[in-house]
Amino acid sequence: MEVKKSKWDDDDDLVEPVKRPRKEKKKAIVKETPPPRILPTKSAAPPVHLTPDVRSTPPPNVPTPPPPQPRRLVAQSPFLQGCRHVDNYEKLNRIEEGSYGIVFRARDRETGDIVALKKLKLEKEKNGFPVTSLREISTLMMCKHPHVVNVREIVVGDKLDQIFIVMDFVEHDLKSLMEEMQSPFLSSEIKTLMLQLLSAIALMHDHWIVHRDLKTSNLLMNNRGEIKVADFGLARQYGSPLGNMTQLVVTLWYRAPELLLGQKEYSTAVDMWSIGCIFGELVNKEPLLPGKSEIEQLDKIFKLLGMPDEQTWPGFFKLPHAKNINFAQQPRGNLRARFPYLTENGFDLLSRLLAYDPEKRITAEEALRHPYFSESPPPKDPALFPTWPSKGAGEKRKVYASPSAPQAQHAALDDDLAGSIFAPSTESTGFRLKLGANALK
Amino acid sequence: MPSALSLLNPRPTLEQLECSPSRRDGISSDLEEDMRGIGCRLIQDAGILCKIPQATIATAQVLFQRFFYVASLRRFAVLDMASASLFLAAKLGECATRISSLTLAFDHVAKRLRGQPTDVFEAFSQEAYDYKTKLIVGEMQLLKRLGFHTTVQLPYGLMINYLRILGLEEREDVANKCWALLNDGLATPIYILFTPQALACAAIDLSCRLFAIRLPDSPPESAWYELFDTNREEMDIIIGWFARLYLRRGNIALGDLVARPENFAQENGDSVASNTLLGTPSTHWANIPIRLEELEALFKRQ
């Protein structure tokens, strides 16, 4: 029975369907308990929507409620319910093991979906649940973005210290993928990947979250040309004013100079430096600054970019560790020489990402609008990316006994694109197939 | 837009609200309300003692309230879960506090609130050790039973912004009143039932009534709260909860307060209820069980 159909009834698109059907808990109506019942005033709400979440539509299938029953359908917000048991998943194989814990590949017994289970290491914890894991889980659950790895839920084992994060399984990580590839990504592909990465980081920064461990091995990639930012083990929210944060963050190769030099307060710019290093690595298919120690890391940075001075980095000489460093004067860097094939715009983006002064370093939001992404060639549609065998799923690359045909060899002479494992036929033919949804929107 | 952060507060289901786990364990709704009330009060007082920011204290109280929609007061003691909530909230709010300070503060506050002698336990005694163990287990239970959904959106910031939009940013007294109301409201289920927008609007609405400030509300279709995604119905229910809270605790009707706002006068700039409306704390709180043994003893007596 349809009574007073409000104008909200139609925009069903606001209400996202709950992804995982949980049978009995589909009732989204919140009923209030005792206090005075006031007859509802008929509210003709103006189309002002500060948040898309609340009071969207009275659900169409709800039978006419008696007057004092409020009808509040809150889309998307989770239910109050405990963690499920890990037995809901069937372990398939171990993907990797690190200091943080073990990652398994597993199958959801109910839906058959393949997922990744990350088991947290909780031994010898004196202060309850470790704050780093807490940050990892809470930031990951906050960051719902097409290019951030999707956390489905947290499940527990029989004991209180067995905690697993259930994430979508993603086939590759960018680092081992690049090791397997024979030639670097195409520039159109690099643009797509960079845009995806930047959009995810822009969202995080917009919501006061710093990742603090961006590197190619923490960027997962699926077989549909999408990367997913993962491993939020060092991520945390920051505030204004910036509180105390440890300088011991970010894997050395991707660590920003202000961290290496012991600057007390730092913020989102450290992520942007890491993105600069990742950009360079994508272009050259080798790490940009593979230092072995902190001193060597700084030395490599200075060699690449030249020594900073009062102009490029005001306040540089006041940094805690700046006095202790006495490197040979290297007024000019060799960044351009390392990237001979990068266009002017591409080079400009790279040098802005690798700006010494954190204040001047480009932000994710600005980088997304950089002209590099609008010049030719345009970013490749993710649907057109090639696929590779997945290491995590235990798939192996087919090894061909015979040497490859000569065609690849001389083709590579005049065109560095041809003969790569992703023969870019769609690009050279001058038109682009529109396949699937454009994930960059 | 799919990329928006999912920062929404988790909500309870209808059955969780209609029949809370404690109710199923034979705890009456009156007793449950009292036990929730004392838990929130413990968190508030201990938080102030430990110099924890109010936003974090509020987060702790919301987590505490949420927990008892998925778990029973008969299985988890108020005192343990209150201290675990504050411990967890402090970590979430990036102001992690030492376990020993927390347990000492909670022990002290609980004794004071119930009129017992406030002697301090030894730092390395069995009692201290038990406290610590319970707190850590409580934290894990909290996380596990809330499914790690620890997002708590609070209305304080919204309230300040709304006041600014309404041109009331100069009225410090109004802002203080709103702040105090929002603090008091933590002891009621309104943080579980309503959005932060509705809470902020209700606090502003009630304060402005107390100060006889007229808000732009005519014609009805363009009332001020519509701009903030709230409707009259929600605000009235929230104000109803406030009325109930003050009536239960201090036997003061909200109607009286509206008629004679001087009764509502606020002392020390802190929470309205805790300072002026509660009377002597020990008489009100002394008989509310905060430990499992106390609850079972109460059941035996009945």
Distance, in Å, from the CA atom of B223 to the CA atom of A40, rounded to the nearest integer, reads 15
Tell me, what's the pLDDT at A401? 56
Tell me the nearest-neighbour CA distance from B260 into chain A, angstroms: 21
Sign of CA dihedral B138, B140, B144, B146: positive
When pLDDT is averaged across residues A63-89 and rounded to a whole number, the result is 62
CA distance B110 to A125: 27
Is A311 a residue whose pLDDT tops 50? yes
What angle is formed at CA B50 by the lines to CA B292 and CA A120, rounded to 5 degrees?
A: 70
Measured CA to CA, the distance from residue B185 to residue B235 in angstroms comes to 13
Cite the DSSP H helix spans in B154-290.
156-165, 172-185, 190-193, 196-210, 224-227, 232-250, 254-259, 272, 281-285
How do residues B188-211 score in pLDDT, each as one tens digit? Answer: 999 999 999 999 999 999 999 888
Yes or no, beta carbons of A129 and B139 under 8 Å apart: yes
| Dihedral angle of Cα B135, B137, B143, B145, to the nearest 10 degrees | -120
Q: Which residue has the tokens 């699926």?
A: A222
CATH superfamily name and code, B19-151: Cyclin-like (1.10.472.10)
Domain A173-384 has CATH 3.60.15.10: no
Average pLDDT over residues A324-352: 85
**Is the pLDDT at B78 greater than 90, yes or no?**
yes
Task: Please give the pLDDT value at position B95.
Answer: 87
Q: Residue A411: which residues within 8 A CB-CB, separation 6 or more?
A: A418, A419
Annotated domain spans of chain B: 19-151, 156-273
B263 pLDDT more than 70: no
Report ipTM (2 d.p.): 0.83
> What class has domain B156-273?
mainly alpha
Average pLDDT over residues A290-318: 89
The amino acid at A112: G
pLDDT tens figures, A361-412: 999 999 999 999 999 899 999 888 888 888 777 776 555 555 555 544 444 4
> What CATH superfamily classification does A86-168 receive?
Phosphorylase Kinase; domain 1 (3.30.200.20)
- B contact test, residue of A15, A73, A77 with most B CBs within 10 A: A77
Q: Which amino acid is at A203?
A: L
Closest-CA distance, B86 to chain A, in angstroms, reads 13
Please report, for chain A, the start and end positions of each structural domain, with discontinuous segments joined by +: 86-168, 173-384
Q: Which residue intervals of A228-314 are DSSP H helices? A: 257-260, 269-284, 294-305
Residue A58 has pLDDT above 70, yes or no: no
CA distance A255 to A273: 7
Least confident of A51-60, B80-89, B229-238, B283-292: A51-60
Judge whether A63 and A15 are in contact, CB under 8 Å: no
| Main-chain dihedrals φ then ψ at residue A46, nearest 5 degrees | -70, 155
What's the half-sphere exposure (Cβ side, CA atoms, 13 Å) at A294? 15
**Residue B123 in contact with residue B99, Cβ under 8 Å?**
no
* B144 contact residues in A (CB cutoff 8 A): 82-83, 156, 160
Quickly tell me which residue has 């171990």 as its tokens: A94
Closest chain B residue by Cα to residue A51? B229
Most A CBs within 10 Å, among B1, B7, B8, B13, to test the A interface: B13
B19-151 and B156-273 agree in CATH topology: yes
Q: Hey, what long-range contacts does A63-66 have (CB within 8 A, 24 or more apart)? A: A63/A1, A64/A1, A64/A3
- Average pLDDT over chain B reads 83
Tokens of B27: 């705890």
How far, in Å, CA of B208 to CA of B217, rounded? 12
The phi-psi region of residue A76 (left if phi > 0; otherwise alpha if psi is between -120 and 50; otherwise beta) is left
Residue A260 — very low, low, confident or very high, per pLDDT cuts 50/70/90?
very high
B272-282 per-position pLDDT tens digit: 444 333 334 44
Q: Which of B86, B136, B143, B148 to probe the A interface (max A CBs under 10 A)?
A: B148
The yes-or-no verdict on residue B135 having pLDDT over 90 is yes
Q: Give the pLDDT band (50/70/90) at residue B221.
A: low
Q: What is the pLDDT of residue B255?
A: 62
Phi-psi region of A431 (alpha: psi -120 to 50; beta: other; left: phi over 0): beta
Tokens of A376: 């030719």
Chain A positions in Cβ-Cβ contact with residue B4 (cut-off 8 Å) = 52, 144
Q: Is the pLDDT of residue A4 over 50?
A: no
> Do A173-384 and A86-168 have the same topology in CATH?
no
- Is the separation of the CB atoms in B179 and B266 below 8 Å? no
At A5, the pLDDT band (50, 70, 90 cuts) reads very low
A164 sits in which H/E element: strand A163-168
Residue A118's identity, in one-letter code, is K
A40, A77, A82 ranked by CB distance to B11: nearest: A77
Over residues B144-186, the pLDDT tens digits come to 999 998 889 999 999 999 999 999 988 888 999 899 999 999 9
The residue with tokens 């006889």 is B212
Q: Is the pLDDT of residue A331 over 80?
A: no
Using a CB-CB cut-off of 8 Å, the residues of chain A touching B237 are 32, 35-36, 38, 70
Peptide bond into B219 cis (omega under 30): yes
Is the CA virtual torsion B273, B111, B114, B110 positive or negative? positive
The confidence band for A52, taking pLDDT boundaries of 50, 70 and 90, is very low
Q: Could you read off the pLDDT of B118-130 as tens digits, one per residue?
A: 788 887 888 888 9
Residues of chain B with Cβ-Cβ distance to A82 below 8 Å are: 70, 144-147
